[in-house]
Structure formats: C-alpha cells, structure tokens
Amino acid sequence: MNGDFLTKDGQPFFPFGTNYFTTEENGWDFSGPRNADVWERDFADMEKHAVSFVRTGVWMGQIKFLESDGGASERFLRNVEAYLLCARQHHMIVNFTFFAFDPQATLRQGDTPLTLLPGGNPYLDPVTIRAEQNYLRSVVTRFKDVPYLSWDLINEPSFSNPRRLWKGNTPNGDRAEVQAWHTWLRNRYGDVEKHSKAWSPTPEQLRDFEVVPLPGEEDLAMNMEHGDPRQVRASDYNLFAQEMFSQWAKTMVDAIRATSSKQLVDIGQDEGGVQNRVLNQFHGRSGVSFTTNHTYRQNDALLWDSLAAKVPGVPNIVGETGYQPVIFPNGEWRYDELTGFSLIERKWAYGFAGGSSGSLSWDWAREIYFGIERSDGSAKIWEGLMRDMGEFAKKAQVYATSLM
C-alpha cells in the first residue's frame, strides 16, 4: 500500500476484476467436490479479459466444513489450495472472505432457524469470538506465506442481530451485549447526571447504568412526524455499534497477524457502510489495510457513496458492483444485458474516481441477471467492456500515487 492507493510489487496498482467462485452449479463454497479444471478454464478466460483481481470465499456458512476442533476440514483447505494455484497460474490476485453478513451463523436456509456457533453474540461474546478465530486461524495458517493473497474478514456485515440483516444496526439483546452496552455508557458519560442531560430523563428515572435497556426496534426507526423521546438512544446505540464492531475487527486482524501473516486485510461492506450499519469511517481505523464499498442499489448516488466510504490514508475499492435486478410491478425487467450496459460501464468506471482504488464486478458466473456469462455459458456483451476497462486500469494505475 502507498497511502490512499494499493501497490503491487512496489508499483502503483489499480485492481480490476470480479467476484468469482466457479461457473459450476451450486459452487458458492469450497466444502464439497470441486472441479479445478473449471477454475483453470475460467481464470484463463479472465486473463484474456484483463482481469487482475478476484474475490471469493465463504457465503453459504461454515457448517459443511468445520471440524470438531472448530477448524476447516482438509477437503475445504485442499479446494482453496487448488483454487489459489489456478489463480496464480493466470496472474490473479485473490481476496478470500471468511464470513458473510454475520460471523456467527454457520447455516442460513430459508425460514428454518439459524445454526449458530457457540456463544451468545456474533461480535461480543468471548466464546463466539474464540470459535470464529479458530476457523479463521485454520485457514490463514495454511496459506499465510502465499503471495498475492489477501483476507476479507466479512461480507456486508450487520450489527449485531444475526436474524435482522441489512436493516440498520439492531440489538441482539443477549447478556454479552447488555453488559457491553452498560460498560460503554459508563465510559461515555461517567455519571448518571451527565447521562440524564444527554437523554433528557431525570437522574431518578435512569437511576443506574446497569438498568438502562438496549433500545427497541421502534426507538431505532425514524419518527419525524410524531417524535419519540427515546430515539436519542439510537444515536448512542449506533456509536456503540461502531466501536464494538471495530473492536471485533481488530481482534480478527490480531488473530491473522499472530500467525505471522503479513497479507492485507479488509472488510467487504456494501452501501450500508455509508448509511445505517457499520461504517467504513469507523472500522477503516481498526487495523484493516483497505476498505470496500459495494455499489448495489443506490444508482443515483454512485460517486457520493464512494466518496463517503473513503477513509483518508486508507485505500478503498468499489466492489461487488454491477446492475442489480429491478423488476417492475408487472414482472418485467428494468434492466437486461443491453439496457444495463451503460449502467455497468458507469459503475465499473467509478472504481477509478473519487479517490477509489479499483473496481470489482458481481460476478463471473452463469446467471441471467448480473453474471458475466449467460446461463448456457456464452459470453454476454459485457465481456468486451470488461477487457477494455481492465486495460484502462493498467494504463491509469501509474498515476495512482497521491490524491494531491
């Protein structure tokens, strides 16, 4: 890294590429049988289209590959190794993601109850954190000396209720969170009198930090028309959430560094990182090497989202971008391969604007909406654009030395 931008072999570098698991069906994890020949062919195709950087990892939960000691299975690790070997054969940098959406759920399947790691809170319970670190260390230890490999701690995190994703920071209400909340309030205000001035109730109503409940969902929602005096708790809870998540991120970075890994580490946040969830401006100072901003739905705020996500002195990548499915009430698509072309071009290009340090598409797969290939494996018209954008990145990266 060099300040606001990434480097490769000591030279300025603009990563351009895509999320990629495989073009096989049902291939979004490394737990089962995988076909390395598919990876080999896909990476060769990507190299022809000027792709330099791919992001992969675990999106489907860890339940299929965790062993009794909490580490990843040998099959999982060998699959990852084969993937990395194929990527290196075609000069790809790989960004591997450990968790998706929250770090505690090991299985999400429709409306069935979540399967969770032991403990009570994804980010605050010491028992849960140890289980998360056991898994993380088992992977990093195996690949800590692999060049051109970086680690993404978590994809699109929400704090801290694993049953309520993408809807703003929401309490889980477990014992570890309640205790951390009380400690945080005491450290913030020092005494009940100062606390009561900030929140408006009298000291007698608050009485003691130990009896202050976590805010309810109704206290976290905007109510501008009728007001809610309890909404002041939302401000404090969101500051609490930023600090607690950043502490969690630091413990994960420390666990990686304890293996002697010097590889880069990031957090793969989406537009919630500039809106109402855990924000880049906070966790960007938690020891991560760079941040990301997945530009999904906010098509009228693409440049603003990236500007707001950029932490001074920390590189930021526009990741997991592309046109997302938009369906009219009558069932027709707003975008298709042709009508979405100019939007994709603009989204990819913004990865090189506003101080951003590269762009990644979602994703290299056979998929009717945002896959780079059609369902039959033929190339969409975007592949030529991807090649041109990748070549642009190579030519422009020599100037990625300073924002001033």
Which pLDDT belongs to residue 225? 63
83 by Cβ neighbours in 10 Å (0-12 / 13-18 / 19+) ranks as buried
Give the C-alpha separation, 213 to 207, whole Å: 12
Both tokens of 278, joined, read: 């855990």
Give the C-alpha separation, 198 to 176, whole Å: 24
Which pLDDT belongs to residue 226? 62
Strand 11-12 vs strand 7-8: parallel, antiparallel, or unpaired?
antiparallel
Which pLDDT belongs to residue 224? 62
69 by Cβ neighbours in 10 Å (0-12 / 13-18 / 19+) ranks as exposed
What radius of gyration do the chain's Cα atoms show? 22
Which pLDDT belongs to residue 107? 86
**8 A C-beta contact, residue 131 and residue 141:** no
Question: Which residues, at least 6 apart from 216, have a Cβ–Cβ distance to it below 8 Å?
Answer: 230
Which pLDDT belongs to residue 286? 97
Which pLDDT belongs to residue 325? 81
**8 A C-beta contact, residue 277 and residue 255:** no
**8 A C-beta contact, residue 234 and residue 215:** yes
In the chain, the N- to C-terminal Cα span, in Å, equals 17
Give the C-alpha separation, 365 to 59, whole Å: 15
Q: What is the pTM of this model?
A: 0.96
Which pLDDT belongs to residue 150? 98
Domains of the chain, start order? 7-169+246-399 (3.20.20.80)
Give the C-alpha separation, 295 to 397, whole Å: 21
Which pLDDT belongs to residue 257? 98
**8 A C-beta contact, residue 400 and residue 7:** no
CA distances, 392 to each of 49, 102, 236, 340, 388 (Å):
12, 35, 44, 21, 6
**8 A C-beta contact, residue 258 and residue 250:** no
Q: What is the pLDDT along the chain (404 residues), one digit of tens a residue?
A: 899 999 999 999 999 999 999 999 877 789 989 999 999 999 999 999 999 999 999 998 888 899 999 999 999 999 999 999 999 999 999 999 999 999 999 888 777 788 999 999 999 999 999 999 999 999 999 999 999 999 999 999 999 999 999 999 999 999 999 999 999 999 999 999 999 989 887 777 788 999 999 998 888 877 666 666 778 888 999 999 999 999 999 999 999 999 999 999 999 999 999 999 999 999 999 999 999 999 988 999 999 999 999 999 999 999 999 888 888 889 888 888 899 999 999 999 999 999 999 999 999 999 888 899 999 999 999 999 999 999 999 999 999 999 87
3-class DSSP string for the chain: CECCECEECCEECCCEEEECCCCCCCCCCCCCCCCHHHHHHHHHHHHHCCCCEEEEECCCCCCCCECCCCCECHHHHHHHHHHHHHHHHCCCEEEEEEEECECCEEECCCCCCCEECCCCCCCCCHHHHHHHHHHHHHHHHHHCCCCCEEEEEEECCCCECCCCCCCCCECCCCHHHHHHHHHHHHHHHCCHHHHHHHHCCCHHHHCCHHHCCCCCHHHHCCCCCCCCHHHHHHHHHHHHHHHHHHHHHHHHHHHHHCCCCCCCEEEECEHHHHCCCCCHHHHCCCCCCEEEEECCCCCCCHHHHHHHHCCCCCCEEEEEECCCCCECCCCCECCCCCCCHHHHHHHHHHHHCCCCCCEEECCCCECCCCCCECCCCCECCHHHHHHHHHHHHHHHHHHCCCCC
Strand partners, 151: 96, 265
Residue-level length of the chain: 404
